[in-house]
Structure 1
């Protein structure tokens, strides 16, 4: 699909907006037509209920009033009784009242209104030409047929009202049918639009999303080469393009990761070979290299004992240098062998009670402690996770250094503290010795680095390097506290 075609795609919002506009137009149109139908129904119903039906009732009253006039006239002419005269007068008044009421109902009905006027005219002519003269002269010869035109006009008016009522009922039926048809059509159209929305939602949104989801799951299952081809509305298509871009980035990252993994495996193989070489070196260092050194030292000592009288002082000094060099070489080899075994040979992890470790360390350093009159102040120490041999080496080096580098004029005092620190413990070992200049804070942890000449302090300079490697092997850190000035203080952490 080209970019121009994608730009012409309707979005889901546009599709639903179009359907909603159609629904609004339909509802407004149906409401307008329905309102007209209801108005027409109301008009027809009001015409029947408010004008035609009451008018027919008044026509009956008008008919009674006119007939009573005729009856009263004949009764008075026959009997001369004054009550008939009163009935005549009352009937005339009732006729006028009924006509007035009927005229109010027939204001919007020109045909019946004209017939009412004709009835009134005919009744007035009958009274003026027949009834009034007969009442004055009491002429009994008045013909009964003289009242027939009034009856005829009144019958015509009633027929007009009956016809109007029939027409009104027919119009009311038509209006009701139109109203029902309009509302039924509106409901049907709304149901159709709801169906259109459902189909539109399914075809334009649900199906493209399902296809996109299936393609994404296929990629997630491991088929990273499967290319996504989204379709549907603009939003779904854009979402598919974003997922496809993410897939491509993942493929690129996977390629880079695979290359890095291959390089890592290659380096692991090289490291395995290096470890094998280190094992071989450790074996050679512990056996093949130390044996010649022992022989050199042993034969030099034998040479000194056997030919002591024949050797001058310089020769004896040279032999001492040779023995001392061989001995120091053995110590260096042993220390280097011990350093290489950290994390390789000694790699156990179990709960270690540091109180028991400290007891063993003090027993090992008992001679130095007694000689220097050292005092070790320690609290109740916690249980940590680690290798007991490595932790023994750690504390032995720390305490040994604190005793070794004490001030000549005062016995060493070593203070140990332990503080819970989150998921681990923070330790501090402080002494009152000669201290360490903060500028050498990093140098002292480097293997075989010494700050003092050998003739003043013995050792190979590996103790603190061993401490650092043991701490880091256990996941902690160790450093010199530069703010402590009364000696040296080492701060380190261990896991609980």
Structure 2
């Protein structure tokens, strides 16, 4: 067969999957084992049949033939003695021989019923014995006792010849039976040797099949899987350039190609993510530098704004005290506007500074008992609470790892907002609750105030966003934005409960420990010193 003729067959084998190889291997093994089992069964059956023939037919037949010869010899001895002496006791062996002869002939006929040659020999023996008995034994036995039988003397020569024929027939029969027994014994020995050879061949073939199966599994499945696993471990160890080499049956090669495709896809994604990470690192560095610059600018600007703002506020207040009532009403109004604007600007700057300090200056985390922080906050807000007649209750609050200053600012903004935005003519009722929510703590601050419309639920947490004019409710619009920043800095989230309609319910979560602690501020200490505003 040429190489061109072999190549399509090899390509055909290369498309076989593991399942097909296993099916073909198992089918071939079963066929071989079935053939070997059939041969073994035939050899066992043959051995059994020959053994049964030797034990149950040939050996017993020879033994019975010898007993038949003994019975005939006893008859001849008895007849000869009786014929010479006429003594009746000599007839006893003759009569016993007749009985044994009949039994032996019956048994031999049964044993040799499947052996035509043996039956022919038995017929010859029976005919020779019948001829001797007819010509000699019966006439002599019929002679009266007491005197020698004249028949025996007269037929002595004929009787000897007849009995020699009997002996010859018996000897021929026994020789044939011995030859048959030897032949059957040789057949048994040869069959047993064949049986041992067949079962030895079965054992060898089973061992060979087992070795072939294990070697096929090792080469076709174990080795490709080990190589695939080694390549996968190399890739998992960080060597993403390491190629996956597909080997083995078609399905394992297909798996190797898919894993290699996944490796190439992962390599492309990693390259893309690395490029993205580098750009993000650069952007983060730029953003960090920009934030530091903005933070420093905010502090410097706010610090520098304090002095001119203080002068504007001081001189407008002096102008109001000195010239109040001396000018017309419009001038007094203008002076009031200037004083109010300066004061609100100072308040706005101070609130903005407090907002920027969250997570930067106030970053001293420790175990904080929120019950004590809330009680301290209520004490600080006691004047406003008493003026509003507010009723404030709270559940037992947990202790968290947090910044105590920020926790105070959180409670202060939430409680003061609940007191501030109360319904006219109705006693403010405020309740603080805390429940465990998985790994977080969920807090709610519920009041019976004017409430927040659902469309403004997100807007109220944006810095400087106000839902009311400054004449209706005072404030800078920075309180809830500061609460949002504090909560998020401590790994939580804050929002307005849209399903509560009898006021406002602010709900927020806090982690037992914050996710990470930002580093210290890069603003110089000199820029952090702020003068007290003029009130």
Unmatched 5+ residue regions in structure 2? 1-6, 144-148, 513-535
What is the CA RMSD across the aligned residues, in angstroms?
2.6
Partner of 2:170: 154
Question: Quick one: distance in 2 between partners of 1:416 and 1:447?
Answer: 24
Count of aligned residue pairs for this structure pair: 495
Partner of 1:182: 198
Identify the match of residue 479 of structure 1 among 495, 498, 502.
495
Partner of 1:119: 125
Write out aligned runs for 1:435-450 (5 A): 435-450=451-466
Instruction: Give the drift of 1:305.
Output: 4.4
Structure 2 vs 1, CA of residues 108 and 303 (structure 1 numbering), >3 Å: closer, same or farther? same
Question: Quick one: distance in 1 between partners of 2:325 and 2:27?
Answer: 124
Q: Any idea what SS the aligned residue of 1:153 has? A: helix
Identify the match of residue 28 of structure 2 among 22, 31, 35.
22
- Find out whether 1:344 has 2:360 as its counterpart: yes
Indicate the larger mover: 83-92 or 288-297. 83-92
Instruction: Give the drift of 1:194.
Output: 0.7
- Find out whether 1:43 has 2:49 as its counterpart: yes
Partner of 1:61: 67
Question: Quick one: distance in 1 between partners of 2:410 and 2:278?
Answer: 37
Partner of 1:12: 18
Instruction: Give the drift of 1:296.
Output: 1.5
Structure 2 vs 1, CA of residues 171 and 272 (structure 1 numbering), >3 Å: closer, same or farther? same
Question: Quick one: distance in 2 between partners of 1:199 and 1:206?
Answer: 9
Aligned residues of 2:299 and 2:353 also touching (Cα < 8 A): no
Indicate the larger mover: 466-475 or 287-296. 466-475
- Find out whether 1:415 has 2:444 as its counterpart: no
Partner of 2:346: 330
Write out aligned runs for 1:246-265 (5 A): 246-265=262-281
Q: Any idea what SS the aligned residue of 2:467 has? A: coil
- Find out whether 1:235 has 2:270 as its counterpart: no
Instruction: Give the drift of 1:169.
Output: 1.0
Partner of 1:81: 87
Instruction: Give the drift of 1:188.
Output: 0.7
Aligned residues of 1:374 and 1:413 also touching (Cα < 8 A): yes
Structure 2 vs 1, CA of residues 6 and 362 (structure 1 numbering), >3 Å: closer, same or farther? farther
| TM-score scaled by length of structure 2 | 0.85
Aligned residues of 2:325 and 2:332 also touching (Cα < 8 A): no
Question: Quick one: distance in 2 between partners of 1:453 and 1:79?
Answer: 169
Unmatched 5+ residue regions in structure 1? none
Instruction: Give the drift of 1:88.
Output: 3.0
Instruction: Give the drift of 1:446.
Output: 2.1
Instruction: Give the drift of 1:289.
Output: 1.5
Partner of 1:299: 315
Instruction: Give the drift of 1:356.
Output: 1.8
Instruction: Give the drift of 1:486.
Output: 4.5
Partner of 1:138: 150
Instruction: Give the drift of 1:102.
Output: 1.5
Identify the match of residue 195 of structure 1 among 189, 196, 211.
211
Structure 2 vs 1, CA of residues 438 and 115 (structure 1 numbering), >3 Å: closer, same or farther? closer
Identify the match of residue 267 of structure 1 among 283, 286, 300.
283
Aligned residues of 1:19 and 1:193 also touching (Cα < 8 A): no
Partner of 1:493: 509
Instruction: Give the drift of 1:45.
Output: 1.5
Q: Any idea what SS the aligned residue of 2:465 has? A: coil
Question: Quick one: distance in 1 between partners of 2:218 and 2:426?
Answer: 91
Question: Quick one: distance in 2 between partners of 1:203 and 1:483?
Answer: 68
Indicate the larger mover: 227-236 or 404-413. 404-413
Indicate the larger mover: 94-103 or 254-263. 94-103
Question: Quick one: distance in 1 between partners of 2:124 and 2:499?
Answer: 130
Question: Quick one: distance in 2 between partners of 1:281 and 1:84?
Answer: 156
Q: Any idea what SS the aligned residue of 1:426 has? A: strand
Aligned residues of 2:125 and 2:170 also touching (Cα < 8 A): yes
Indicate the larger mover: 275-284 or 483-492. 483-492
Question: Quick one: distance in 2 between partners of 1:94 and 1:377?
Answer: 129
Partner of 2:447: 431
Question: Quick one: distance in 2 between partners of 1:459 and 1:294?
Answer: 20
Instruction: Give the drift of 1:90.
Output: 4.2
Partner of 1:457: 473
Question: Quick one: distance in 1 between partners of 2:105 and 2:119?
Answer: 10
Instruction: Give the drift of 1:154.
Output: 1.3
Aligned residues of 1:16 and 1:197 also touching (Cα < 8 A): no
Structure 2 vs 1, CA of residues 485 and 234 (structure 1 numbering), >3 Å: closer, same or farther? closer
Q: Any idea what SS the aligned residue of 1:377 has? A: strand
Indicate the larger mover: 380-389 or 262-271. 380-389
Structure 2 vs 1, CA of residues 120 and 228 (structure 1 numbering), >3 Å: closer, same or farther? same
Indicate the larger mover: 285-294 or 404-413. 404-413
